[in-house]
Amino acid sequence: MANMAQLFLLELAAAPRAWMLLLLPLLLPLVRCWFRAKRASDIRQKQDDHIPPSPPALPVLGHLHLVGSLPHVSLRSLARKHGYDLMLLRLGAMPVVVVSSPSAAEAVLRTHDHVLASRPYSLVADVVMYGISDIGSAPYGDYWRRARKLVTTHLLTVKRVQSLRHAREEEVRLLDYCGSTHLLF
């Protein structure tokens, strides 16, 4: 067996072209993977220009290990430690943008409010409410603005709200009764 290995090595040393032919099928996929990884990192870097900075995270948990029993204190200390007015935290699979300065909050809530005005898509709302067509789950846009206008002009007028006062008081009384006798199911 040792003789066969020595003969194989002697043949490869004698014929460098054979050595290259042997390595070529191995090198081509490696070079191809390297170029793909390089291109993917370039694309990711271009996309990351639009994403706020983020502290180091764990693979599955994200930044959950950084948030303690008092989340507001943990987030404040993270912002002070990393110096970010705006940072991205991944709490499990959910990305969360944390705004920690008044100037950044003003920029987010006044300048870019249309980006944050819509709710995320919810399969539960889509199934239970027969589509996302009600005002509570509709995405921000022309339909939502028209629905809100209808609700405020027809349902939430002073006269309509006052006329339904007794029904609201009755519902509160029933809820209070159910809560006091522990009949909630």
pLDDT 10s digits, 42-55: 666 665 567 888 88
pLDDT at residue 44, rounded to an integer: 64
Question: Residue 17: inside a domain, yes or no?
Answer: no
Residues 62 and 96 in one domain: yes
pLDDT at 6 over 60: yes
Close Cβ partners of 109 (under 8 Å, ≥ 6 residues apart): 116
Same domain, 104 and 148: no
Residue 76's domain comprises 49-116
Considering its fold, how many domains does the chain have in total? 2
Domain match, 73 and 112 both: yes
Q: Is residue 129 part of a domain?
A: no
For residue 90, give the 3-state DSSP assignment: strand
Backbone angles phi, psi at 87, to 5 degrees: -140, 155
The pTM of the whole model exceeds 0.75: no
